[in-house]
């Protein structure tokens, strides 16, 4: 069973930056369309950004111009560079295939607060 492990979260002030990482244990990571999601208490989990196996990226309107998704297929790793973070982006961030095909990992907590 494929497992994903997210890391890189933490406490950051508004306007700050964080870089999240996601390591995928599967054999076919390089061909999968992957994505970052986030979930906050009382809110539905939402898709933040997605990336094809070849590196073509798409973003939710709310993060365009501030977040950058990338991947290193040789390392089975996906990244999310988050800049100009806002308090309302406090959430647990998860990685998965874009269709949520994997079992969800633990996620990594991002807290944006002064």
With b for 16 or more beta-carbon neighbours within 10 A and e for fewer, the 26-46 pattern comes to eeebeebebbbbbeeeeeebe
Residue 47 CA to residue 35 CA, distance in Å, equals 7
pLDDT value at residue 1? 81
pLDDT value at residue 5? 97
pLDDT tens string, the chain, 114 residues long: the values are 889 999 999 999 999 999 999 999 999 999 999 999 999 988 999 999 999 999 999 999 999 999 999 999 999 999 999 999 999 999 999 999 999 999 999 999 999 999
pLDDT digits (tens, 9 = 90+) for 35-65: 999 999 889 999 999 999 999 999 999 999 9
The first and second tokens of residue 15, run together, are 């306007």
pLDDT value at residue 25? 94
pLDDT value at residue 100? 92
């Amino acid at each position: 069973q494929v497992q994903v492990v997210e890391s890189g979260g933490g406490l950051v002030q508004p306007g700050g930056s964080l870089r999240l990482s996601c390591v995928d244990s599967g054999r076919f990571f390089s061909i999968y369309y992957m994505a970052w999601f986030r979930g906050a208490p009382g809110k539905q989990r939402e898709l933040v950004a997605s990336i094809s196996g070849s590196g073509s990226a798409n973003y939710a309107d709310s993060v365009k111009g501030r977040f950058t998704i990338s991947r290193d297929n040789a390392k089975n790793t996906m990244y999310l560079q988050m800049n100009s973070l806002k308090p309302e982006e406090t959430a647990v961030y998860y990685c998965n295939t874009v269709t949520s095909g994997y079992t969800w990992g633990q996620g990594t907590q991002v807290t944006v607060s002064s």
